[in-house]
Amino acid sequence: MPCAHYVTDMAKLPIILLPDPVLRRVADPIVTIDDEVRRLADDMLETMYKAPGVGLAAPQVGISRRLIVLDVSETDDEKTPFVMINPMIVKRSDKPNVHEEGCLSIPDVRVEIERPAEVTVEFLDREGKRQELAASDLLATCIQHEIDHLDGRLLIDYMSRLKRDMVIRRFKKLAREAGGV
């Protein structure tokens, strides 16, 4: 049972925080794309924009399903949101890229992570049509970060054990103080 420690800052959906166990589960595939899934995607986009963030995975809002939303556009005027259902990386470049990443489920923690600079991802769009997208730079990083969430991996898994344990202890303490875990 998830703990009750959430960020609610006027977001459409509550964002689940570490140490909630839903963040460590492998998310279930979405079998049927219907109005409920499309509504969830829309609510997740609204939540992501209000947070503000550039990506959000369904487990981060307490729903263990394989759905991510992203938007790495530079300005609010040029929003280019992506909705990816059952995303799967089918190709990774050998060229590495390092980005300092943050996570809405682990606020105020930043980690430099090396990932492939380019990926190709296959997914279903909000209408259920199979899509393929070649992504690079920040979009590639964001896709990999959000797919990590679907697989129960968090950015703290890229830290040293000592730093990771310190972050986990801090968030467990915050959850206890908030009446959660």
DSSP reduced 3-state for 45: helix
- One-letter amino acid at 109 equals V
pLDDT score recorded for residue 143? 98
Q: Quick one: tokens of 151?
A: 């697989």
The number of helix segments (H) and strand segments (E) in the chain equals: 3, 9
Task: Pick one of 3.40.190.290, 2.40.40.20, 3.90.45.10, 3.10.520.10 as the CATH number of 6-177.
Answer: 3.90.45.10
Task: Compute the Cα dihedral for 72, 47, 61, 7 and give only its sign.
Answer: positive
The pLDDT-based confidence of 75 (bands split at 50, 70, 90) is confident
CA 10 to chain centre: 19
pLDDT score recorded for residue 3? 33
The pLDDT-based confidence of 85 (bands split at 50, 70, 90) is very high
- Report, as residue numbers or ranges, the catalytic residues: 146
Residue 129: CB partners within 8 Å, gap ≥ 6? none
